[in-house]
Amino acid sequence: MAGGLDGKTHARILLLSLSPDVASQYVPLMNCIFSAQKAGIPVDVCKLGASKASFLQQAAHITSGYYAHITPSKTMLQHLMFTFLPDHRARGILRPPERHEVDFRAACFCHRKVIDSGYVCSVCLSIFCDRLAQCSTCGMRFPEEES
């Protein structure tokens, strides 16, 4: 947490990631993201290495945090300090990291695989890759498909 100029504390979360996305962790991660969003806490993500982290990119985007994919170099410390150290007021003055297109694909609840399109339960918002007769999360029975 960083102290604000007004004496109040402003929460922030900084995630450092070296690994690629793990589809089986999509649901717990999204729960954390939505909790941070509701609490007004920005989630900043510092992605190191070559692997992709679209779920963490979603986290930064949804919570109005920063996402920076950094290649280790001699200027890495300087980059980290000027990107993630400033508080929310100073960020308005500094140039933020370049925003890239965010991959908003989700992971299905049945196989925990990233999918391009699927079926969503209207009650609990669970995502499935195949049409089911009943939601495996909340038990809601889906209407029969009309021919």
Compute CA distances 42 → 14, 56, 72, 141, whole Å: 9, 12, 24, 37
pTM > 0.75: no
The encoded tokens of residue 25 equal: 């962790």
Same domain, 76 and 111: no
Looking at the DSSP bridge assignments, the partners of residue 119 are 128
Same domain, 119 and 68: no
Same domain, 8 and 50: yes
* Number of Cα atoms under 13 Å in the Cβ half of residue 30: 17
The residue segments making up the domain with residue 71 are: 2-91
Same domain, 21 and 87: yes
**How many domains does the chain divide into?**
2
Query: What's the CA gap between 66 and 5, in Å, rounded?
Result: 21
Query: What's the CA gap between 60 and 127, in Å, rounded?
Result: 21
pLDDT by position in tens, the chain (length 147)? 444 455 566 789 999 999 888 877 888 888 999 999 999 999 999 998 888 788 899 999 999 998 988 887 787 888 788 888 888 777 777 776 666 777 778 888 788 788 888 888 888 878 888 888 898 888 889 888 776
